[in-house]
Structure 1
């Protein structure tokens, strides 16, 4: 990895305001081709990337997400886990033989990891081209409607979006958990030993929110996590997956 690539990774920040300028076809192809070069389990490449150019679809996705930058960006990619392609290349007899595996939790994990690795390649490439990006898990706010809008066949599920474009803001670099809390030696570091690092991070994040130029607030990571997990969301995802014949066993 070149130093410039490391610098790109280390300077990542989410961009939520883009200039009114579309990506070129060359930029889109470069980003997708780079995504395809990501590692993939057993060469399955269990994902499909859908570029959204229809303004009506983008508006509906923005409504689902609740975020305007789903519509107002240079290009919107939707990353889908895809086991439909693998299933369809087999004969009827072969499809029957593959069914148990295709419905397994293991293959659901494979498709999710494959898509995430491809998306991270896409994100780094976009940033390397001087563009900004924002991942969009909020598309799962109504996963069934996204599925219907994109006309996804069985065993294809919408995982997340990636908004890409020319940045129209310069947000500060947001701090991350301390290295010591994330990287453990040989065995899992018990939570009692993680707590001092988490408390350190709480203070760092609190200070960050106080000095950043936009959306100043009083908050900590611990408070955010308690709020988040005290409010279950997207509980329709599990039955949706089973309906799509994914993650059933």
Structure 2
């Protein structure tokens, strides 16, 4: 099984939202899960569970929960869950409702999911994260029959790409990598970046969009206020 070098894979990442009908072989899928299993884990807690969703009816429920059509159009759809249910089974005295516990779970889940996506891309697959699954997080949890202390954090579509999008511009190095301490925002570098990303969006959608537009679109209103009550319902994030 041939794979691209790690750095080449990372630097060529694009989100893929259109897929061919070609299935992912079971051998390839097993390698992706092996990549997940080798992900770093805080204190070896291994507090992540992956749900591989093959049932079309469940996929449809998750499509409705997220509002993302590609959930039902990709070869594989995975849901990465913070999972402390098994830990409570093994240790009934585990104090799982501390905020730090959920932070550990979220960090470990992100690390594992990125391992899977990078491994997939190195093997010629494409994918896209479905954070919008949290729009209907309770619906998703019910569809997947998740127990207490288990939360569906992010979905992932995987398949063979049927598109070849341009690389999306990222912030220049000095705006995201500071030396010896936090540095003030460099307005001239930000202006250059805004011009670059505006050109990208004009080519992609026909409309100019600066970085601040994405910030306002996401953060200028209540951001999924149902998330905290759901975590608490699951026995997490209470103190």
| TM-score after normalising by structure 2 | 0.95
Q: Is residue 241–residue 247 contact of structure 1 (8 Å, CA) maintained in 2?
A: yes
What is the CA–CA distance in structure 2 between the aligned matches of 1:198 and 1:108, rounded to whole Å? 33
Do 1:21 and 1:73's aligned partners in 2 also have CA atoms closer than 8 Å?
Answer: no
Map of 2:111 onto structure 1? 117
Residues 213-224 of structure 1: matches in 2 within 5 Å?
215-224=205-214
Residue of structure 2 in register with 1:209 after alignment? 201
In structure 2, what is the equivalent of residue 30 of structure 1? 31
Partner of 2:170: 176
CA distance in 2: counterparts of 1:217 and 1:182, whole angstroms? 26
Q: Which residue of 2 aligns with 1:12?
A: 13
Please report the RMSD computed on the Cα atoms of aligned residues, expressed in angstroms.
1.4
Any idea what the Cα deviations from partners look like across 1:101-141, whole Å, max 9, x if unmatched?
x1111110000111110110000000011000100001011
Residue-pair matches, total: 237
- Measured in 2, the distance between the counterparts of 1:139 and 1:119 equals 14
**Match of 2:50, SS?**
strand
Distance 1:168 1:137 in 2: 22
8 Å CA contact 2:149, 2:234 repeated in 1: yes
Report the alpha carbon displacement of residue 3 of structure 1 after superposing the two structures with TM.
7.9
In structure 2, how many angstroms separate the alpha carbons of the residues matched to 1:153 and 1:228? 30
Deviation at 1:22, TM superposition (A): 2.1
The 1-side partners of 2:196 and 2:227 are apart by 34
Partner of residue 163 from structure 1, selected from 157, 165, 168: 157
Instruction: Structure 1: state its 5+ residue gaps.
Output: none
Q: Distance in 2 between matches of 1:129 and 1:58?
A: 24
Tell me the SS of whatever aligns to 2:156: strand
Q: For 2:30 and 2:227, locate their aligned partners in 1 and report how far apart those are by CA, in whole Å.
A: 31
2:201 is equivalent to residue 200 of structure 1: no
Measured after TM superposition, the shift of residue 60 of structure 1 is 1.2
- Normalising by structure 1, report the TM-score: 0.92
Distance 1:117 1:195 in 2: 32
1:123-167 residue CA offsets vs partner (Å, 9 max, x unmatched): 000001100010000101111110111111111000000100010
Deviations 1:30-76 (A, max 9, x none): 10110111111000011000000000000111112111111100100
Alignment partners' CA distance in 2, 1:131 and 1:51:
17
Map of 1:127 onto structure 2: 121
SS at match of 1:174: coil
Tell me, in whole angstroms, the C-alpha distance in 2 between the residues paired with 1:247 and 1:155: 10
Q: Residues 76 and 234 of structure 1: is their aligned pair in 2 closer, same or farther, counting only changes over 3 Å? A: same
2:70 aligns with 69
| SS state at 2:80 partner | strand
Q: 1:47 maps to which residue? A: 48
